[in-house]
Amino acid sequence: MTSIRDIARVCGISVGTVSKALNGYKDVSKETVRKVNQVARELGYTPDSLARAMRTNTTHNLGVLFIDKQQSGLRHEYFSSVLESFKIGAERRGYDITFITGNVEGSPWRSYLAHCRYRKCDGVLIAGVDFKDQDVIDLANSEIPVVTIDYKYEGQPAVFSANQHDMGALTKYILYRGHRDIAFIHGEDTIVTEQRIAGFEGACREAGVTIPDDYIVEGLFHNPDRSFQATKELLNLGNPPTCILYPDDYSTIGGRNALQMLGLSVPEDISIAGYDGIMMSRVTSPTLTTLRQDSFAIGRKAVDKLIDTIEFPDEDNDEVVTVAGQLYRGGTVGQYQAKE
């Protein structure tokens, strides 16, 4: 590979001057800059990020920690979508991204933080993980700038989807359609779940509707099997709900299967709604009533916040940005009519 040294030799000048010429320093003549650039092009020179990073102590490399509990990885459409816009934003600002993994057999690191340090990430996106995991906390408390999605660490910036507000909007819509017996199969015990339950209960309270305890059942994110089971349980109650909310669109699949198995049709016999607004929700028949998260904006805000924190560490970066989603009415929540 051709290095800065080769250019120096051909031009008959020192490596220091070549470096300065390539990086636009002021103390180098117009003429040498021209010459250096020409020779660099002729020799097919590409800089070496490693050497540069070693010297400057910045890699222009962002870590991405992204391990949902269901291990769906990139197959998780909502996260993939967030990641895609994060990636595009990063590229535009000259950063590459690296996936952070923990203790993999045979790797030179033993934790997320060690992996980040090994690769010398300038900053890390943390999303979709167990935020209470000590390894994750260690990373968040380290010297490495961090941005989280849907969780807030003290002193670190965060991006939130407007879970409470949006869930409130979705619930209000369902109430507006006349439903009063609304069940909510929610996800694991996380901030997101707390916020969504708060939004759900807030909207019900506001409408003067009381929800029995056994209508609020714990399911799992991104897990159709669990939704299948939880749906069956709900329908075995003395007074089954007329509408069921699921942790996300993907889990809804399981719920739908359960309903079909029981011979119930949507939305005639029972109504359902998801959350996320993934592609799939738009192509079922009828289309799924859901709340579309603005995954594009979330990824974009996250990467901008992260890079700002990296490049301008002096400014106030302990901030939380909230991104609102959009209600999609779909066709799975019917107008409620009292049974005869």
Is 81 a binding residue for a second copy by CB under 8 A? The answer is: yes
Query: 165, 164, 171, 147: which is closest to 303 by C-alpha?
Result: 147
Residues 292-331 that bind a second copy (CB under 8 A): none
Closer CB to a second copy, residue 119 or residue 232? 119
Using an 8 Å Cβ cutoff, are 166 and 325 in contact? Answer: yes
Nearer to a second copy, 279 or 320 (CB): 279
Q: Which two tokens stand for residue 35?
A: 């010459």
Distance CA 152, CA 319 (A): 9
List the single partner that 29 binds among DNA, a second copy, none, CB under 5 to 8 Å by kind: DNA
Of 6, 84, 135, 181, the one binding a second copy (CB under 8 A) is: 84
Is residue 142 a contact residue for a second copy (CB under 8 A)? no
Site for a second copy in 88-107 (CB under 8 A): 88, 91-94, 96-99, 101, 104-107
Q: Identify which of 230, 229, 336, 329 has the alpha carbon closest to the alpha carbon of residue 286.
A: 329
Residue 114 engages a second copy in binding (rule: CB under 8 A): yes
- The Cα–Cα gap between 200 and 210 comes to 11
Question: CB-wise, 117 or 172, nearer to a second copy?
Answer: 117
> Are the C-beta atoms of residues 25 and 72 closer than 8 Å to each other?
no
Q: How far is the CB of 16 from DNA (least distance, A)?
A: 3
12 contact, one of a second copy, DNA, none, CB 5-8 Å limit per kind? DNA
- What is the token pair recorded at 337? 């009519």
To which residue do tokens 């800089």 refer? 47
Beta-carbon contacts of 202 under 8 Å, excluding residues fewer than 6 positions away, are 164, 168
DSSP of 148-162: EES---TTS-EEEE-
CA distances, 299 to each of 82, 193, 322 (Å): 5, 20, 12
Q: In this chain, which of 46, 210, 326, 335 binds a second copy, going by CB under 8 A?
A: 46
Residue 106's binding partner out of a second copy, DNA, none, with CB under 5 to 8 Å set by partner kind: a second copy
| Residue (45 or 215) nearer to DNA, CB | 45
Site residue total, a second copy (CB under 8 A): 49
Is residue 177 within 8 A of residue 332, CB to CB? The reply is no
User: What residues make contact with a second copy under the rule CB under 8 A?
Assistant: 1, 46-51, 53-54, 59, 73-75, 77, 80-81, 83-84, 87-88, 91-94, 96-99, 101, 104-109, 114, 117-120, 250, 253, 256, 279-280, 282-285
